[in-house]
Chains A and B, each alone.
Chain A
Amino acid sequence: MKSVAHVKPIAVTGIGMITAQGNNTAESWRGIRTGADVLQPWDGPLPAALRHIKVAACARLIRPLDLPPRLWTKLSRTQQLACISTDEALKSAGLPRRQLATDAPIGCFVATTVCGMDLSERYYQQYRDNADAADVNLMRRMQPYEVLSLLSRRHRFAGPGYMNLTTCVGSAMAIGAACDAIRAGRCELAVAGGTEALCQLLISGFNSLRLVSPDGCRPFDRNRPGITVGEGSAMLMLETVNSAQRRGISPIAYITGFSATCDAFHITKPKPDGTAAAQAMREALHEAGLSPSNIDYINAHGTGTHDNDVTEAAAIAKVFDSHAGIPPVSSTKRLTGHTFGAAGAIEAAICILALRDGMLPPNAGSLDPDPQCPLPLVLSETAKPLATALSCNLAFGGNNTALVFSRNLPADNPVEAIA
């Protein structure tokens, strides 16, 4: 099938990532690629009944030098994670940490689910005990938009942006929105991604739904015990191909397709037949001008719950089975934990790094693949030249996203750079 992209590809010129595997992209990617096991019980303020649960927690965060210690310690952990990954994304794209007023405005599209919940929980606990004695400074960072405000102020991002709060697909949506804003001419460059910190609400909440595995998730495994809660942040530096060319930056990869759909079925369960998730994949492929047989790797959402895994496998089978079969699939959730608002961005970064290095990350934790999920899982680190990759995410409320990445600029893309 002839490849005809229906939208202008967006260049990815920088990546910043912090996960339980490492405090930067190189460390994180090394751990993810090799399937390093980093899960351990959280040393945060968790009720005794939940302290045995293994999570994917980031190591001690290193304060960026431009942020004074007094400010750094007052930030929510979600904001701290976002600061670290944004710094790295800007640096790897060859951009200064602080934009000049004369620079082209940079957009900022960020996702989170709970934002400053780590501080809000402390505040609320004090508030319950004695409202008048509660430390009001803790409420400074509770609003989700505080992440965007901090990044915009710190880096002088003057372009468009918003905070996306659509749980597990939020950062994939933020990346899609940044691409749309760039294509619409609202900005030439944008930072897009997600950030999420561990907190009691997430661990206790998912535990209340009986979805948390105490020893780590096993995506697509017959004996899957549930999800692993994690934290982290990833930011992508996105720009027009023209802008990258003008700046003399060689893009790492291109975003060529995006779509989002909604099951409109149930508040927590995905629609079992995977119709809407399959629709998102088809639409993203259509935007990219690719057929399913053109996809070389799928990074699945793969949370390690029965409902997610079976639905996602059904959706992938709907899109890929009738063509040249299903390409290699892996879920990296056991390696990074489920980072909710950051998951889409972290997995987008993983797809881009897989394309860059021709290396497939393993579907760690799967010992006995579930016959209900007949997917060609990547069971160990595998070298394979890749041209394209698809990242899928599913979320509460039946939200689904798909992002398509290409290693090289499509030859017949309708990009103005060719003109």
Chain B
Amino acid sequence: MLRPKTEDQLAEIIRGANRPLSVRGGGTRHQPGPGEPLTTERLTGITLYEPGALTLVARAGTPMTEIDETLAREGQRLPFEPMDHRALLGTTGTPTIGGAVAMNVSGPRRVQAGACRDSLIGVRFVDGAGTVVKNGGRVMKNVTGYDLVKLLAGSRGRLGILSEVSFKVLPAAATQATLRLTGLSIPRAVEAMAAGLSSPFEVTAAAHDPQVRETWLRIEGMEGSVDYRAGRLAQVLAPFGEVERLDAAESDRIWRAVRDARAMEGEGDVWRVSVRPSRAPKIVERALADAAVLDWGGGLVWLRVPMGTDLRSRLGDFDGHATRLRGTFDPPPERPAVAALTAGIRYRFDPRGLFA
């Protein structure tokens, strides 16, 4: 296993590489593919944290727990609520911040605070020629040159290996509450979530679990504000049935489970479907899945199906895309014009095909 301790060492390894590399951070978010194993887990440390500027910069191999704890001490957090993939994928090891960026891992708060790529304001990476490249920086408003920051987020290491990442962070909420509706059908649940997300009461997460037929909407913020908005949101949701308010502890428990797709535990392949929210019921109907969960108000559908199921042919055409995350990793196919651009970019960043 190649384990560079510095960006320079990483660059040197890539320059000298003569066969494909199998890159990982802590190796918790995917089953690394073939090739010479390389990990960024020794590229660690928070290099800059300015709470007053809402800015944090860390080396790619920094453990998530270190980031979370450092931010928590100042009452702040990463806005995008990244999931921990270990339970879902049965992996062990230490999740890193670089892994979260490489996969653009974005949790329930995606609907309000944006995805990982929206909080990411700077990257340093080593491309396939072994050249160190920086883009973006440490300030949250920056349009200087092309935004390769977004391009690298979610690129799964195919354009380069991240060595350092910078974020805009946010104040952590003083408290939270979740409103629960019970017994809704999936179409009705999606309508209820849309009603909440379209209200001015700043819903920061909306999910539905068809197994237990529960629909949850979260509100976060200062104490008085959460009370007020929970009351108003309950009125918005009243046409959908009886609304229960769950306290902060229960709310926290529910959203950790949604974030980590705990309802997907059990045998079989797990698919992650990104879809126009109102089309989610159709997706679940076509999937004939053993288990399903709707997050992001329906915009993200988790599906568990028997191993080897050809889910794509079941789903047919729809506004979005499906990725098999558990089972053999299987990213969505791209339309020809997009595929040509993607291939062109990959070739220019990794001409030797090291990051296949």
A and B are interacting partners: no
Residues of A within 8 A of B (CB): none
